[in-house]
Chain A
Amino acid sequence: MKKTFFTTFLLLTFFIPVMFPQEEKKVASPLFEQPLLITSAGQSAEVRLASVLAKRGELNFILSKTATPKDLENIKTLALVLGVSLKGLGAAGLDIAKEKERVNLLVEEAQKKNIPLLCLHLGGESRRGQLSDAFISIFLPKAKMVIVVKSGNKDKLFTRLCEEHKIPLIEVEKTVDTLEPLKNAFK
């Protein structure tokens, strides 16, 4: 009897996770603290979108599209909105190299101060491409969590990078669906 029970238990232990795999988008508990600093990595318009989401989620946030290390004062979370827009870069008086350098300095400083990084990709498929992908590859591995609009992950770039670096990934259908996971990610 004991043996049968033990065998059944082992089998169930083995098969249940296989039969009902845990969804990759489930994040057990809030990972981040407030206030958060929202900035862009590539100057796409989605940085503004992230701020509207944060506002609707009643999060305590500061938006600075071109934040520098000194803006991290009293900040508990850094949110990077990934996606390159040449128009946005032009309007901010930046080019790819300068933007990369700015974000790099910011992330390095955040790491020094143990400020966790949240990466958002809200532009979907149209905000992918050589330039955006370069930013994704550099900064996403440093994130503690990633939220991505599904169409931006058609080729599973985000899935692959998150698996490789063991980062929780949340995929949402539409930009508006980012609101709940964003709220839930914060204490």
Chain B
Amino acid sequence: MRKMKALFTKKTTLSFIISLLLVVSFSCRPTEIKIPEPPSDRHQPYNFVGRKGMVVAAHHLAAKAGLEMLKKGGNAIDAAVTTAFALNASEPFASGIGGGGFMVIYLASEKRVTVVDFREKAPSGIPGEIFNDKGKIKSTGLAVAVPGTLAGWDYSLKKYGTKSLADVTQEAIKIAENGFAVSQTFSRINKDQYEKLIMNAGEGTCYLNKGFPYEPGDLFRNPELAGTLKLIASRGIDEFYKGEIAQKVVKAVNEKGGVMDLKDLALYKPVEHPPVQGTYKDYTLFTIPPPSSGGVHIIQLLNMLENWPVKKWGSNSPPYIHHLCEALRFVFADRSRYLGDPDFIKVPVEELISKKHAKQIVSQIKPDSLLDFYPFGRYDEKKNDQGNTTHVCVIDDQGNIVSLTQSINHFFGTGIVPENTGFLLNNIMYDFSRDLSSPNAVGPYRRPLSSMSPLIMFKKEKPFLVLGSPGGTRIFSSLTQIIINITDFDMSLDEAIEAPRFFSYSSQGKPRSISLESRFPEKTYEALKNIGHSIRIREAFDKYFGGAQGILILQDKKVILGGADSRRDGYGAGY
């Protein structure tokens, strides 16, 4: 009896424990897929995963802000603008309301792609000659173009979004007020731009830590930006373009030798127009037409690559690098000859993106040597053309998509902060050509030529890839490489983004060296030298080549992947 009792007790206890474990395990089982944490080595390829929606941006707080907006019922446009505002607070050195950009929007219910262009414009009083002999703009104030960012965000929100300015600024205000720990990327860029900030923003600016650059881990807060955003949220964007902020912008620009007036701001309007469209094999690509050159050039490059056995050559193989660099040199020749603001000059977009034009170029490229001359023009070299700008990708649960690239040009722009506003003014005027006969010459109300190329790619009429990157004139080269890594070299999205990159161009018809990340094998450098290229080896993960963000939509698996570049602080947030 005692034995039975003991057994019973043991059995009961055992069953109780097992039942308890089962109950606990079932009740705690997540209803969603368990997504592994990103690896501690941020360069290790990692795809963020979602089922309903995804936001990818250059800062984790901004991506999370966008995701929260999606979860609250906002659509892709609401989330993109929320993320963009949050980036002004969390990655202020790359974009913000003192700059401009381009947005590609896919409206799922209409199966339509459209472009909102909010590129900055030259002030009406801009003189014809703004560059000095050394290629620098004569005064810091003259480098500032009329900002378009807020007008572009507001236009997109009102036409295609569902939320108010007050809704989409909330998270940015919180980030600016509460602050965040500065990353290695932020700190390094802050140190690089120290001189500019000391000169134009002063030792007391929030963009310096008591007059010194921020170290990794320091708290960065921007209460003045929070105040500016609250004003805009309550009074609308007229506060920026016609109100007190407009006066502060004009004062700050003109104190530094600029020529902006209140009318320039009041007259600024974003433009909506159809995208430029190209194809690569089974894929269709929608991206930005001029005044960005990027979209045209990506299509040109893909058109050329269609003619070569890229897959057979292999990923980052010497023949692949050689042919793409030669193609880039032709593209840069076209860029300097034909591209500019289409409101002022005729840009032969259709001719440039035609398969015929690509074949003409391909027929001239030799497999085992460089051409001496790239005959269409000359590229206006820029010494300070650094990897700047930022990119945001969003997809919502209805299938609406936004691919948004925006900038204040160089990191920290001009370094000018209008009084007590907390935001930085752009130096986009540097994107104009120094050559007064160039199609990209300076002129009143003109938009300088950009390289930004936010894009959406379709496979069999269904969205497949959303992509974009900062990186100055490397943008279209880097995006082309990422596309080829996915379509031809079968890489996953983030593998394609993290893979080593290269870049070359031509100037005055002559080839320039190939810049390569230091992760290529030694034999690749040797093979390129043997063909006749001079090479320049850069850092292993160099932000010179951009900081791409992407979303890959695997329709058959009903999975959305986010890829964020470790060359900067890219982060994805999906659900």
Binding-face segment, B193-201, B422-430, B549-557, B561-569: B193-201
Distance, CA A105 to CA B193, complexed state (A): 28
A124 CB-CB contact with B under 8 Å: yes
Is B187's CB under 8 angstroms from A90's CB?
no
State whether A91 and B384 are in contact (beta carbons under 8 Å apart), knowing that A126-B187, A151-B216 are contacts in the complex.
yes
Do A126 and B383 have beta carbons less than 8 Å apart? no
B residues near A130, Cβ cutoff 8 Å:
518
Are A48's CB and B187's CB within 8 A? no
Whether A104 sits at the interface, judged by CB under 8 Å, is: no
Q: Indicate if the CB atoms of B386 and A126 lie closer than 8 Å.
A: no
List the B residue with the shortest CB-CB distance to A47: B195
Q: How far is the CB of B510 from chain A (nearest CB, A)?
A: 18
Q: How many A-B residue pairs have CB under 8 A?
A: 55
Contacts of A59 in B (CB 8 A): none
Interface assignment of A49: CB less than 8 Å from any CB of chain B: yes
A85 in the interface (beta carbon within 8 A): yes
Please provide the chain A residues from 100 to 135 with a CB less than 8 Å away from any CB of chain B in the complex: 123-127, 129-130
CA distance in complex: A123, B337 (Å): 41
With both beta carbons as reference points, the residue of chain A lying nearest to B199 in the complex is identified as: A48
Known: A49-B213, A52-B198. A127 touches B191 (CB 8 A): yes
In B211-227, the 8 Å CB interface with A consists of 211-213, 215-216
Name the one of A86, A91, A151, A176 contacting B212, with C-beta atoms under 8 angstroms.
Answer: A176
Contact B384 A175 (CB under 8 A): no
Residues from chain B with a CB closer than 8 A to the CB of A175 are 212-213, 215
Which residue of A has the minimal Cβ distance to B193? A45
For the complex, is A160 an interface residue (Cβ under 8 Å from B)?
no
Q: Are B191 and A45 in contact (CB under 8 A)?
A: yes
**Nearest Cβ in chain A — how far from B190, in angstroms?**
9
Q: Mark B179-215, 1 if CB is under 8 A from A, else 0.
A: 0000010011001111100100001000001111101
Is B110 part of the contact surface with A, judged by Cβ < 8 Å? no
- Among B203, B211, B213, chain A packs the most CB atoms within 10 A around the CB of B213
**Complex interface: chain A residues within 8 A of B518 (CB):** 130
A166 part of interface (Cβ distance < 8 Å): no
Q: For residue A127, which residues in chain B have a CB less than 8 angstroms away from its CB?
A: 188, 191
Enumerate chain B residues within 8 angstroms of A87, measured Cβ to Cβ: 192, 384, 386
| A19-59 to B contact mask, C-beta < 8 Å, 1/0 | 00000000000000000000000001110110010001000
B522 beta carbon closer than 8 Å to chain A: no
Main secondary structure of the interface of A (DSSP, over half): helix
**Contact (Cβ within 8 A) B191 A49:** yes
Q: When A52-B211, A175-B212, A175-B215 are in contact, do A123 and B386 touch as well, CB less than 8 Å?
A: no
In the assembled complex, B539 has its CB within 8 A of some CB on chain A: yes
Q: Which residues of B contact A129 (CB under 8 A)?
A: 539
Contact A49 B194, CB 8 Å, known A87-B384, A176-B210: yes
B192 touches A85 (CB 8 A): yes
A46, B187: Cα distance in complex, Å: 12
Query: In the assembled complex, how far is the CB of residue B196 from the closest CB belonging to chain A, in whole angstroms?
Result: 9
Query: Smallest CB–CB gap between A17 and chain B, Å?
Result: 33
Q: Which residues of A contact B216 (CB under 8 A)?
A: 124, 151
Say yes or no: A48 contacts B210, CB within 8 Å. no
Q: Mark B267-305, 1 if CB is under 8 A from A, else 0.
A: 000000000000000000000000000000000000000
Please tell me if A156 contacts chain B, counting CB pairs below 8 Å: no
The complex places the Cα of A91 from the Cα of B384 at a distance, in Å, of 7
Distance in angstroms between the alpha carbons of A160 and B212 in the assembled complex: 28
- In-complex Cβ contact of B192 among A45, A124, A125 (8 A): A45
A165 within 8 A of B: no
A154 CB within 8 Å of chain B? no
A87-B386, A90-B383, A91-B383 as given contacts; A52 in contact with B191, CB under 8 Å: no
Select which of B194, B203, B211, B386 is within 8 A of A45 by beta carbon: B194
A174 adjacent to chain B (CB < 8 Å): yes
Residue on A nearest B196 in the bound complex, by CB: A45
Looking at the assembled complex, report how far the CB atom of B444 sits from the nearest CB atom of chain A, in whole angstroms. 29
Q: Mark B436-466, 1 if CB is under 8 A from A, else 0.
A: 0000000000000000000000000000000
CA distance A85 to B518 in the complex (A): 16
Q: A52-B212, A87-B192, A91-B383 are in contact. Are A124 and B187 (CB under 8 A)?
A: yes
Q: What string of 1s and 0s marks CB contacts (under 8 Å) between A91-104 and chain B?
A: 10000000000000
Nearest neighbor of B515 in chain A, beta-carbon distance: A86
Residue of A nearest to B203 (CB): A52
The answer to whether A125 and B198 touch across the interface, beta carbons within 8 angstroms, is no
Most buried by B among A45, A49, A123, A176: A45
Q: Which of A56, A85, A126 contacts B184 (CB 8 A)?
A: A126
Closest-CB distance, B123 to chain A (whole angstroms): 26
Contact partners of B187 in chain A: CB under 8 A:
124, 126
Of listed A85, A123, A126, residue having the most chain B CB within 10 A: A126
Task: Give the shortest distance, in Å, between B215 (CB) and chain A (any CB).
Answer: 5
The reply to whether A126 and B188 form a contact with Cβ atoms under 8 Å apart is: yes
Question: For window 516-532 of chain B, which residues contact chain A by CB distance below 8 Å?
Answer: 518
Q: A127–B213 Cα gap in the complex (Å)?
A: 13
**Chain B residues near A91 (CB, 8 Å)?**
383-384
Cβ A48 vs Cβ B383 within 8 A: no
Closest to B185 in A: A126
CB neighbours (8 Å) of A45 from chain B are 191-195
- Per-residue CB contact flags for chain A residues 136-163 toward chain B (1 = under 8 Å, else 0) read 0000000000000101000000000000
Q: Which residues of A contact B383 (CB under 8 A)?
A: 90-91
**Shortest Cβ distance from B351 into chain A, in angstroms?**
35
> In residues 57-107 of chain A, which contact B (Cβ within 8 Å)?
85-87, 90-91
What separation, in Å, do the CA atoms of A46 and B190 have in the docked complex? 11
Which residue on A lies nearest to B192, using beta carbons?
A45
- Whether the pair B191, A46 counts as a contact (CB closer than 8 A) is yes
Give the distance in Å from the alpha carbon of A129 to the alpha carbon of B537 in the complex. 13
Q: Chain A 173-185 against B: per-residue CB contact (8 Å), 1 yes, 0 no? A: 0111000000000
Q: How far is the CA of A130 from the CA of B540 in the complex (A)?
A: 11
Minimum C-beta distance from A58 to chain B (A)? 15
Q: Measured between alpha carbons, how far is A123 from B386 in the docked complex, in Å?
A: 19
Question: With a CB–CB cut-off of 8 A, which chain A residues contact B210?
Answer: 176
Per-position binary interface string of chain B over residues 362-388, scored 1 when its CB falls under 8 Å from any chain A CB and 0 otherwise: 000000000000000000000110100
A124-B194 contact given A91-B383, A91-B384, CB 8 Å threshold:
no
CA distance A86 to B209 in the complex (A): 25
* A-B residue pairs, 3 tightest by C-beta: A126-B188, A48-B195, A45-B194
24 inter-chain pairs at a CB distance below 8 angstroms, sorted by A residue, are A45-B191, A45-B193, A48-B195, A49-B191, A49-B194, A49-B212, A49-B213, A52-B198, A52-B203, A52-B212, A56-B211, A87-B386, A90-B383, A91-B384, A123-B191, A124-B187, A124-B191, A124-B216, A126-B187, A126-B188, A129-B539, A130-B518, A174-B212, A175-B213
Beyond A45-B194, A45-B195, A174-B215, 11 extra complex contacts between A and B, CB < 8 Å: A45-B191, A46-B194, A49-B194, A52-B203, A52-B211, A87-B386, A90-B384, A91-B383, A91-B384, A125-B184, A126-B188
